């Protein structure tokens, strides 16, 4: 059956798969959000260790998903990978560095003789959760605002801005998307910790977490509104049947109206996140992370689908419209996509394994007595 | 070992295996094409590819087809079209040679060490055989050396190719100013040794605590 799929269908399947991985990553940024909450919600060593150990059991999953997102894009849309990772060089290198710093920090923070001291490693975690997520948001923002590159006949990229990708962070739209993701990650982080930790005799700690969910939600709202309104109002990049790219007024509004399913994903996703926040703050629910997580995934899907479907170049160039990348001109060959689709049939197995391990890991809530033993971070 | 290379390369004893000079300068008797000839074909392929792209842009289908046919005839030599001299096709031989040998020597040493460890473990003397334990400690670092040598063989040995015969590394590199690459290098230079020192200090502390301290 897979062997008979048309090239165009395969390209769409792979854009959907990449979008799913990217959206799952946005949900899993609860780890990054949690990293940044550490300084505000934990008031003593035990609370500190509870936060770190709770997140320390999940950070690899987030990191792996980010790598998988890059890997899937590399395999399915290699021209995007070659253009963006070599071209928007600094934004990707800096994201990489914030994740390098994070990777060792959980492990080293509490070990005796760790050279830099626990506070430094906690600072690394903070940098990862703020700068890292902000830059990822800015990079995703360029899917709509465009980047500064030209491709020659041999697909060699020339970046036309000396900041090599960092200029993405100086657009109000991209910056707002980045800040929204930072605050959303903090909302998710708070909900995750509420769900994952056993708060017996730690009522004040629990109350601080609930408060932080509310405050970060309120902080996220203006950026979300700005991003949404701009997205609907802005000129967008559009590609016609001959492959010619042009600017079209309200392109992304048109995309949402042309694809009601995507509009539905966006609205349902936003409602789920809001319901989760209200439930966490006013109904003292501990299950908010699941609702908000699903909501975040749906919003993420809507964002990626709006960027890539309905004759829209997902990686547009504002320096040279005709260099813009679409899922049609940036994808791997039909042969490669077909082979990859067979391999992708194994994805449900991987997801089932992840879900199984997650359940095993979290079958008992993390309690204070656990974080004082030798095995803890 | 006489005949072994012939067997490895062509799965038969006594066959001709071209050496570096044969490959670079060609060997008429053995029908080995030299790099100079490959470069000529490669330059033709590069030119035909450009002609094809140009014809397609100006919507001249007939010219595009002719150019494509001419390109297809030489396409396997495309990468040679970018080389400046035949000698450029040769990777740094001594670096690849010695790193490969170090890797193989270490790779042969490790199994011997494992067998020795197994032997003394069964004899229940492993904890008191000091010389063997010392080898074990040194071998931790030799493992890193073997691994790095393997990378050197793979990455130096493949030069000048990013894709064998089709794309030299100098064509494949990102179009980025030297300063950016240097800045990245110094970022790694600042961060990694710092984390390495931390790692080593943590390890030394744990070693000094020892298994009794757990």
Indicate the average pLDDT of chain A: 93
**Does the beta-carbon distance from A115 to B201 stay under 8 Å?**
yes
Residue A371's closest CA among A126, A102, A38, A51? A51
Question: Residue A372 pLDDT > 80, yes or no?
Answer: no
| pLDDT value, residue A103 | 86
Farthest CA pair distance, chain B: 82
pLDDT of the residue at A373: 65
Segment A249-253 shows an average pLDDT of 96
Q: How far apart are the first and last CA of chain A?
A: 48
Residues of chain A whose beta carbon is less than 8 angstroms from a beta carbon of chain B are 86-87, 89-90, 93, 97, 100-101, 104, 108, 111-116, 153, 156-159, 164, 374
- Strand B167-168 vs strand B161-163: parallel, antiparallel, or unpaired? antiparallel
Query: CB distance B202–A114 less than 8 Å?
Result: yes
Rounded to an integer, what distance in angstroms lies between the CA atom of residue A277 and that of residue B168? Answer: 55
Answer yes or no: is A65 within a domain: yes
Residues paired with residue A29 on neighbouring β-strands, in sequence order: none
Q: Mean per-residue pLDDT for A74-78?
A: 96
Query: Which B residues 176-195 touch A at CB under 8 Å?
Result: 176, 180, 184, 187, 191, 194-195
Higher-confidence residue: A114 or A231? A231
Hey, which residues 46-75 in chain B have their CB within 8 Å of chain A?
A: 50, 53
Q: Is the pLDDT of residue A40 over 60?
A: yes
As a whole number, mean pLDDT of residues A312-328 equals 96
Residue A189 lies in a domain: yes
Per-residue pLDDT of chain B (214 residues; tens, 9 = 90+): 778 888 888 888 888 888 899 998 988 888 889 999 999 999 999 999 999 999 988 888 899 999 999 999 999 999 999 999 999 999 999 999 999 999 999 999 999 999 999 999 999 988 888 999 999 999 999 999 999 999 999 999 999 999 999 999 999 888 889 999 999 999 999 999 999 999 999 989 988 888 775 5
- Is the per-residue pLDDT at A1 higher than 80? no
Instruction: Give the pLDDT confidence score for residue B14 in this predicted structure.
Output: 82
Q: Are A94 and B184 in contact (CB under 8 A)?
A: no
Pairing between strand A157-159 and B161-163? unpaired
Contacts of B58 in chain A (CB under 8 A): none
The answer to whether the Cβ–Cβ distance between B176 and A86 falls below 8 Å is yes
Three-state secondary-structure class, residue B34: coil
Report the number of distinct structural domains present in chain A.
1
**Is A377 a domain residue?**
no
**Of A91, A108, A92, nearest in space to B194 by CA:** A108
Q: Which of A22-26, A216-220, A253-257, B128-132 has the lowest average pLDDT?
A: B128-132
Q: Which residue range forms the structural domain that includes residue A156?
A: 2-372
Mean pLDDT, rounded, for A205-220: 96
Q: How far apart are CA A96 and CA A75, in angstroms?
A: 19
Tell me, yes or no, if B196 comes closer than 8 A to chain A by beta carbon. no
Give the percent of chain A with pLDDT over 70. Answer: 99
Name which residue leads in pLDDT, A113 or A210: A210
């Amino acid at each position: 059956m897979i062997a008979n799929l048309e090239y165009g269908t395969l390209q769409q399947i792979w854009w959907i798969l990449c979008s799913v991985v990217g959206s799952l990553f946005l949900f899993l940024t609860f780890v990054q959000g949690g990293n940044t909450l550490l300084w505000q919600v934990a008031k003593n060593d035990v609370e500190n260790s509870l936060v770190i150990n709770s997140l320390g059991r999940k950070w690899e999953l987030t990191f792996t998903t980010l790598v998988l997102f890059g890997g899937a894009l590399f395999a399915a849309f290699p021209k995007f990978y070659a253009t963006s990772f070599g071209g928007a060089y600094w934004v990707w290198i800096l994201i990489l560095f914030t994740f390098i710093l994070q990777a060792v920090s959980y492990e080293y923070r509490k070990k005796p003789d760790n050279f830099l001291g626990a506070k430094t490693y906690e600072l690394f975690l903070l940098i990862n959760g703020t700068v890292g997520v902000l830059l990822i948001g800015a990079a995703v923002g360029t899917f709509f605002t465009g980047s500064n590159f030209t491709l020659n006949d041999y697909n060699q990229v020339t970046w036309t801005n000396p900041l090599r990708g960092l200029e993405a962070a100086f657009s109000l739209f991209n910056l707002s998307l980045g800040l929204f993701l930072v605050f959303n990650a903090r909302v998710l982080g708070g909900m995750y910790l509420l769900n994952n930790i056993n708060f017996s005799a730690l009522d004040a700690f629990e109350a601080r977490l609930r408060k932080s969910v509310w405050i970060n939600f309120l902080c996220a709202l203006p950026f979300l509104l700005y991003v949404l309104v701009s997205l609907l109002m802005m000129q967008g990049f559009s590609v016609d049947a001959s492959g010619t790219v042009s600017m079209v007024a309200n392109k992304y509004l048109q995309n949402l109206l042309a694809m009601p399913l995507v509009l539905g994903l966006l609205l349902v996703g936003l409602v789920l996140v809001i319901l989760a926040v209200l439930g966490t703050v006013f109904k003292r629910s501990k299950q908010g992370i699941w609702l908000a997580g699903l909501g975040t995934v749906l919003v993420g899907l809507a964002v990626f689908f709006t960027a890539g479907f309905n004759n829209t170049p997902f990686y547009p160039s504002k320096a040279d419209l005709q260099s813009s990348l679409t899922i049609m001109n940036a994808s791997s060959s039909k042969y490669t996509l077909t082979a990859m689709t067979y391999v992708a049939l194994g994805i449900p197995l991987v997801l089932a394994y992840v879900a199984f391990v997650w359940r095993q890991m979290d079958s008992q809530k993390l309690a204070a007595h656990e974080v004082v033993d030798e095995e803890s971070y | 070992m006489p005949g072994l290379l012939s067997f490895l390369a062509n799965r038969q004893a006594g066959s001709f295996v071209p050496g570096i000079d044969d490959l670079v300068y060609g060997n008429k008797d053995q029908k080995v094409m030299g790099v100079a000839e490959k470069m000529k074909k490669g330059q033709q392929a590069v030119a035909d590819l450009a002609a094809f792209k140009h014809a397609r842009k100006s919507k001249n289908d007939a010219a595009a087809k002719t150019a494509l046919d001419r390109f297809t005839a030489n396409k396997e030599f495309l990468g040679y079209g970018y080389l400046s001299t035949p000698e450029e096709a040769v990777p740094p031989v001594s670096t690849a040679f010695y790193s490969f040998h170090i890797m193989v020597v270490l790779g042969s040493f490790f199994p011997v060490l494992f067998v020795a460890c197994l032997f003394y473990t069964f004899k229940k003397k492993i904890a008191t055989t000091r010389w063997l334990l010392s080898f074990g400690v040194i071998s931790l670092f030799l493992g890193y050396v073997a691994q790095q040598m393997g990378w050197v063989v793979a990455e130096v040995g493949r030069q000048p190719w990013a894709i064998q015969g089709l794309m030299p590394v100098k064509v494949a590199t990102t179009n980025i100013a030297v300063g950016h690459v240097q800045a990245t290098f110094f970022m790694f230079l600042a961060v990694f040794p710092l984390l390495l020192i931390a790692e080593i200090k943590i390890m030394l502390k744990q070693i000094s605590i020892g298994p009794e301290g757990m």
